[in-house]
Structure 1
Amino acid sequence: MRTIRVVFLLVPKLHLLDLAGPAQVFTTANDFGYGYETSYVAEAEEIETAQGVPIRARLDWPELGPGDLIVVPGWRSPRLQPVPPIGPAVRQRLRDHHAAGGSVASVCSGADALGAAGLLDGRRYTTHHDLTDELAARYPGGSMIRDVLYVEDDRVITSAGIASGIDLALHLVAVERGAEAAARVAREMVVYARRNGDELQDSVMLRHRGHLSDLAHRVQDVIDAQYADRLLLADLAARIGVSERTLTRLFTTATGLTPLRYQQLLRVERAEHLIGHGTTIEAAARAVGFEDARMLRRLRSRAVA
């Protein structure tokens, strides 16, 4: 498993939670062995945050590859500055990293930096609700998506205000390391995982974790970890210590899905990720636990319909 390098680009007056939330997600994921390496760079050695806490940063950038990520936390709003607080060299670095196959992400007003680098043109994006009108007017070449937590479009991932950076980071962990990894991180951080809006970029696991049923969470933990295995309802019920009927009733009430349907959605989501990275449908189907590609094709067509 290749280590994913995550570089946080720090700008003056950044919001602490814009930085700390995603940083906590990636460092916690690394503590669990999922392979993340974080670093913090800026155009000055010391950055003053919006909350008055100074942060030390490095001036040199680590070497980044196609699978790595640059995150731009937001800075003090509610209005955008006349010019984003990043220089021409940093804008070029953002462009070059994305052009080389890397991903770039922003939290809140950090989308202004991505726009200044030309990375919002022709793409969907979002930001804090106080800034949507200004950002939409500043970067009309892109399409502003309002009232959602985050949007992903061609390796450009933008999120809404402040705490939504946690949601964005959990989504990226789920995509790169799987639903189980994101679930472990969310539970460790005591995050009430939730999603809103009509965007489907959020992971299945997170989209159906917005409930308070401990039983359903425990069942989901099992399915998240073994979604590619053949899981019998009787075995799940025995592991949790309830009857099959009780498990199905409580799980469906909490998530809106049966355990089987939840497992199928996890499999399809992971298969879509593999297919998007060049895997054939047949190989993806086998990798996620289907005996052949027919069921995967059927479930994919149902999702589209």
Structure 2
Amino acid sequence: MSHIVFFLVPGVHLLDLAGPAQVFSTTADFGHPYTLTYVAEQPQVSSAQGLPLAAGLDWPDLGPEDLIVVPGWRTVALADGPAIGAASLQALRNHHARGGTVASVCAGAEALGQAGLLDGRHCTTHHDVQDELALRHPGAVVVRDVLFTADDRVITSAGIASGIDLALHLVATRHGPAVAAQVARDMVVYARRNGHEPQSSAMLRHRSHLDDTVHRVQDLIDARFDQPLPLPTLASAVGVSERTLTRLFSRATGLTPLRYQQTLRLERAQHLIHHGATIDAAARSVGFEDPRMLRRLRARTG
């Protein structure tokens, strides 16, 4: 079980907090247990939207598998933000030093900067305060206009809704892209990755739609991509005709169900080959009876 601790400061933005919290809570609903805890320097914190939030005062014992998230707060300038106590900054430093991960949303990057965790690392924040973050923490490498960055267990996001992207990235890293896609679908959000990089997984790349029938077919293919999955079997599983399924699937993803399955197989085979497997062994592992099919697909994609 992993512990997620949200460190709250006065003026915290509700969506900066609620977005990542919902991602981890939904992930727990799908059988990957998380404990969510809220810590602050006072027992009640006023949010930027006026809703008072209760929080604990004591930091729990954390291990390397645990995460601290600092949601952002309402501010015109980082220099005018709420004061953060030395003990809280030390808690951030200690957790990272012990092998844990720290993350921020929006202006929360300022807290990581004050803790010295941005020095020499790539980071980002809301576009309104990117320049100021770079000036206040000259040792940081501020990456502008991206959804989030990840550098040596320090993860920062641009702000507001991008905290959801950050949390989905962490879920995909820990549990795989299929789980992240499942969570995104349940939350009715796009399963996105970083704003300046192509999405690295087909399971996420082709999930940016809201067609529930297609999602259910993708769930089946994701779980059994290394097995024969004839079109009649897939169509029967979701209660539509083969022609309807092909039309819906192509409209939502740009691929036929077979091409989607082949894409997953190819992606997994490439991973195995890069880790030392032979082409023949990788082909068998992902369900190709004839390794020549894998060779043709690899040649087609360059």
| TM value normalised by structure 2 | 0.80
Give the secondary-structure state (helix, strand or coil) at the position aligned to 1:81.
Answer: helix
Equivalent residue number for residue 47 of structure 2: 49
Determine if contact 2:199/2:205 at 8 Å carries over to the other structure. no
Identity over aligned pairs, percent: 63
Equivalent residue number for residue 116 of structure 2: 118
2:143 to 142, 145, 160: 145
- CA root-mean-square deviation: 3.7
Q: Distance in 1 between matches of 2:269 and 2:51?
A: 43
Determine if contact 1:84/1:116 at 8 Å carries over to the other structure. no
Determine if contact 2:192/2:199 at 8 Å carries over to the other structure. no
Q: 1:262 to 1:25 in 2, by over 3 A?
A: same
Give the secondary-structure state (helix, strand or coil) at the position aligned to 2:37.
Answer: strand
Deviations 1:205-254 (A, max 9, x none): 33322224344322222233334555455533443455666645543442
Deviations 1:139-165 (A, max 9, x none): 232322222222222221111121111
The count of aligned residue pairs is: 296
2:286 to 284, 287, 290: 290
What letter corresponds to residue 27 of structure 1 in structure 2?
S
User: Which structure has the larger Rg over C-alpha atoms?
Assistant: 2
More deviation in 63-72 or 266-275?
Answer: 266-275
Q: Distance in 2 between matches of 1:269 and 1:157?
A: 26
Q: 1:110 to 1:86 in 2, by over 3 A?
A: same
Q: CA deviation at 1:38?
A: 0.5
Q: 1:230 to 1:148 in 2, by over 3 A?
A: farther
Pairing 1:225-304 to 2, within 5 Å after superposition: 225-227=223-225, 229=227, 231-241=229-239, 247-248=245-246, 250-259=248-257, 262-263=260-261, 281-282=276-277, 289-290=285-286
Equivalent residue number for residue 29 of structure 1: 27
Q: 1:291 to 1:237 in 2, by over 3 A?
A: closer
Q: Distance in 1 between matches of 2:108 and 2:267?
A: 28
Q: Distance in 2 between matches of 1:239 and 1:249?
A: 16
More deviation in 169-178 or 246-255?
Answer: 246-255
Determine if contact 2:265/2:287 at 8 Å carries over to the other structure. no
Pairing 1:94-109 to 2, within 5 Å after superposition: 94-109=92-107
| TM value normalised by structure 1 | 0.80
**Structure 2 residue ranges without an equivalent (≥5):** none
Determine if contact 2:9/2:82 at 8 Å carries over to the other structure. no
What letter corresponds to residue 156 of structure 1 in structure 2?
V
Deviations 1:157-186 (A, max 9, x none): 111121111222122222222333323322
Determine if contact 1:84/1:112 at 8 Å carries over to the other structure. no
Q: Distance in 2 between matches of 1:99 and 1:5?
A: 17
Give the secondary-structure state (helix, strand or coil) at the position aligned to 1:224.
Answer: helix
Q: Distance in 2 between matches of 1:165 and 1:10?
A: 14
Q: Distance in 2 between matches of 1:298 and 1:137?
A: 51
